[in-house]
Amino acid sequence: MVVFIGCFPASQFACDIHVIRSEEHPAKKVFDIGFFVLLCVVMTLFTIVQTKIVHYSSLAYFPVAYFGARALVRRLELHEQTNLSDAGQPSLMPRGIRLTVLLCGILWAMIFLGLCLIGINAQALIPMIRDEFVRGNLSMPVTWSYRSLIAGAGLFVSVIACWRALNNSITGAVRTIAWGVSLALLIFLRSAAPNIETYTQGAPIAFYQSLQGQDCYVLPLGYKSYAHLFYTRKEQRNSPIGVGIHRDHFEQWLIEGEIDKPAYFVCKSPSANDYRNNPQLEEIKTEGGFTFFRRKHILAKRHVADHITIVMP
C-alpha cells in the first residue's frame, strides 16, 4: 500500500500491466522478467521488516515506473491499431485505472492542503490536542504563508484534468499529470516541507548542531533515531565501538558508568519524567516536544577496560 500510494501516478498506471503483450521482442521479455523479479524481492523484504519507512522500498520505484511506462505505451499502440481518432475512442484507459488515478491524486492533494492548513492554524489547534508530544511539536515557532496551499490546489486541478483527459488522450493526460505532480512537489518541498521538519525534529536537530565539534557523547533516550549521528558529526571514538562497550549497555554506561567526557541526552517530553528522577541527570530544557538532559558527574579519564567491567555481566 505504501508503494501503491507513494509512487503516484506510476503505480496506478502499472496496475494495467496485463495489457503488455507476451509475444513482444525477446529483449523486452528479459527486462519484464528482471524488473518483475526485482519488484517481488523488494516488496517481500519490505513486507517482512517491521519499520515501514518509504525509502526502505525505494528500489521498487524503478520497476514500478518501468511497468507504468510500458502499460501506457501499449495502450497507445492499441489505440493506433484501432484506426480511430482520439475523439472517436470512448475510453482509452480502463475505468478502474482512471478511478485509482483520480482517488490517489485527490488523496495526495488533500494531504498537501491538510498539512498546510494545520500549520497555518497551529496555534488555534494546540488547545484542542491532548497529546503532549504533538502539542510540543506544534509550539515550535514557524512562519507559514497561504502560498503553500498552491501545491495542493494545483495538484488537485491537474489530477481532475488528467482524469478527464484519460478518456480521450493518453499523451495529454500523462503530460498534464507529470507537470502537475512536478510543480506541486517543487512548491511543497520549498514552502511547506522545511516547516514540517521544524515541527517534527527542529528542536533536537538544533541541539545536535550546537554540539558539533565538541568531544562529548550524545544519545536519544526511549526512541530510535539516527539524527544525532549525522547532525553532531559524531566521531567513532564517542560511539559504543569507540569506547569498547556493547551497544546494549551503552545507555546504562553513559547514565551510571564512569564516563570521561560530557554526555547529553534527548527524549520525548511525555517520557521525560522517567529520567528527571535519575540523580545522575540534569535537565537542560524542554522544547518542541523534546526534553534535553546532560550527565551531572563526569569522572576522571580512565582506561576503557575499567568501563567494561562496570557494565558487562
SS3 sequence of 207-223: HHHHCCCCCCEEEEECC
Cell numbers given for 36: 518483475
Query: Does the N-terminal peptide bond of residue 9 adopt cis geometry, omega within 30 degrees of 0?
Result: yes
Residue 21 pLDDT level (bands cut at 50, 70, 90): low
Q: Which residues contact 147 (CB under 8 A, 6 or more apart)?
A: 191
CB 281 within 8 A of CB 219: no
- Is 279 in contact with 286 (CB distance < 8 Å)? no
C-alpha pair distances (Å), 149 with each of 23, 111, 138, 146, 155 = 47, 11, 19, 6, 10
pLDDT value of position 23: 57
Digit-coded pLDDT (tens) for 110-133? 999 999 999 999 889 988 988 889
For the segment 227-254, the average pLDDT, to the nearest whole number, is 86
Residue of 222, 221, 123, 105 whose CA lies nearest to 166:
105
Q: pTM for the full model?
A: 0.77
Q: Domain spans of the chain?
A: 1-83, 89-191, 201-311
Per residue in 135-146, pLDDT (tens digit) is 999 989 898 988
Tell me what pLDDT residue 224 has: 86
The sheet with strand 281-287 has its strands ordered as: 217-221, 263-268, 290-295, 281-287
Residue 206 is placed in which grid cell? 538544533
CA separation (Å) from 1 to 10, 49, 64, 84, 240? 13, 14, 13, 36, 37
Mean pLDDT of 191-209: 92
Least confident of 148-162, 196-210, 299-313: 299-313
Degrees to nearest 5, angle at CA 264 with 259 and 266: 140
Contact 14, 4 (CB under 8 A): no
Burial of 27 (0-12, 13-18, 19+ CB in 10 A): exposed
Confidence (pLDDT) at 47? 81
